Amino acid sequence: MSAAPARFALDPPAGDSAAEHRRLRALFERFPDLSLAVPDAELRPSPSLVVNSLRELSVRLR
């Protein structure tokens, strides 16, 4: 049975890149097999001229 994709909402950048790096490192250490739950072509950009980000990022936690 396949689990539903997990959805995480990342906070907007707070200007603390070291803290952001620690959070992402902890996420990848906890879920080393983390992968996209949708094809790259289905990723939708956020409508912003300031920040290059995605509206959402569906992932599989294995």
Residue 57 within a domain: yes
pLDDT digits (tens, 9 = 90+) for 26-58: 999 999 999 999 999 999 988 887 777 888 889
Return the SS3 of 59: strand
| Parent domain of 59 | 1-5+18-46+53-62
Residue 12 within a domain: no
Q: Are 34 and 28 in contact (CB under 8 A)?
A: yes
Residue 10 within a domain: no
Return the SS3 of 39: coil
Q: Are 7 and 37 in contact (CB under 8 A)?
A: no
pLDDT value of position 6: 61
Q: How many domains does the chain contain in total? A: 1
Cα-based distances in Å from 46 to 8, 30, 36, 51, 59: 15, 27, 17, 8, 17
Residue 11 within a domain: no
